[in-house]
Amino acid sequence: MAASKYSIRIEQGATFSLPITWKAGEPAVPVDLTGRTARMDIRAKLTDTVVLLSLTTENGRITLGTTDGVITLHLTAIETAALTWAAGVYDLEIVSSPDDVTRLLKGTITVSPEVTRG
């Protein structure tokens, strides 16, 4: 399965929450995420070694449903207000075991700058 392309936009200073439902098969049904983890790194460019932001199930920035196939990315308003970069690239991986990783999404991510700062 090739990773799907998806562009993400984060509003700086606002709570960010993006639910994604992973479906597979014919007909498409939600994938059971029980026992899996997820990880997503954002870098300025694909070849950069510096990670601008990391979202994982371990750091609480990604939550996984169970049999509903829902993967939710989230950042608090405080976390988005602290973002100092404008754009980058990312991919989202679902880990079933060290030998079984699915690269689900990839694409660009942009931060829309905040004007009102409290």
Residue 118 within any structural domain of the chain: no
In a domain, 117, yes or no: no
> Is residue 73 domain-resident?
yes
Q: What's the domain range around 39?
A: 4-112
Specify if 75 maps to a domain: yes
Residue 14 lies in a domain: yes
- Apex 37 CA angle, 79 and 24, nearest 5: 110
105: confidence class by pLDDT, cuts 50, 70, 90: very high
What tens digit of pLDDT does each residue of 18-50 get? 999 999 999 999 999 999 999 999 999 999 999
Q: Are strands 100-112 and 4-5 parallel, antiparallel or unpaired?
A: parallel
pLDDT in tens, 40-76: 999 999 999 999 999 999 999 999 999 999 999 999 9
Residue appearing with tokens 């079933």 = 96
Q: Total structural domains in the chain?
A: 1
- C-alpha to C-alpha distance for 61 and 46, rounded to whole angstroms: 21
Q: What's the CATH number where 41 sits?
A: 2.60.40.10
Nearest to 10, CA basis, from 79, 109, 99: 109
Would you say residue 60 lies in a domain? yes
